[in-house]
C-alpha cells in the first residue's frame, strides 16, 4: 500500500487536500485515474490534480476494511480520505 497526497492544481493555495492509498506503487497515474480520483472529492467536472508520494507512509493508520472508492482498469484498488481542515 502506498499513500499519495493530492494537490488541487489551478488554485492560489496548494496544500495537500486529501490522501489516496493505493495497492502497490504507481509509476504514474493515467488521466482517467486522476479524473476519477478528483471527481470523487470535487464532483464533475473534476479539477486538475497532482498526486505525489506522501512523505509519511501511514496507510496502516486508516481503515481499508471497506469497499475501495475506485478500482482502475488494471484492477488497482484506491481508498480516498479527506483531510480535516
For residues 30-53, one letter each, b for 16 or more C-beta atoms within 10 angstroms of the residue's C-beta and e for the rest, the string is eeebbbbbbebbeeeebeebebee
Question: Closest Cα to residue 3, out of 16, 15, 21?
Answer: 21
The model carries a pTM of 0.90
How many structural domains compose the chain? 1
Prior bond of 45 cis (ω within 30°): yes
User: Are the beta carbons of 15 and 63 closer than 8 angstroms?
Assistant: no
- The pLDDT tens digits of the residues spanning 12-39 come to 767 899 999 999 998 889 999 999 999 9
Residue 41: predicted pLDDT: 95
Residue 15: predicted pLDDT: 87
Query: What is the extent of the structural domain holding 66?
Result: 2-82
- The pLDDT tens digits of the residues spanning 63-77 come to 999 999 999 999 999
Amino acid at each position: 500500500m502506498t499513500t499519495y497526497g493530492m494537490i488541487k492544481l489551478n488554485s492560489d493555495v496548494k496544500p495537500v487536500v486529501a490522501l489516496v492509498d493505493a495497492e502497490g506503487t504507481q509509476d504514474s497515474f493515467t488521466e482517467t485515474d486522476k479524473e476519477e480520483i478528483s471527481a470523487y472529492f470535487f464532483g464533475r467536472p473534476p479539477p486538475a490534480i497532482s498526486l505525489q508520494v506522501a512523505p509519511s507512509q501511514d496507510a496502516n493508520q486508516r481503515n481499508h476494511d471497506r469497499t475501495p472508492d475506485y478500482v482502475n482498469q488494471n484492477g488497482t484498488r484506491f481508498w480516498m480520505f479527506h483531510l480535516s481542515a
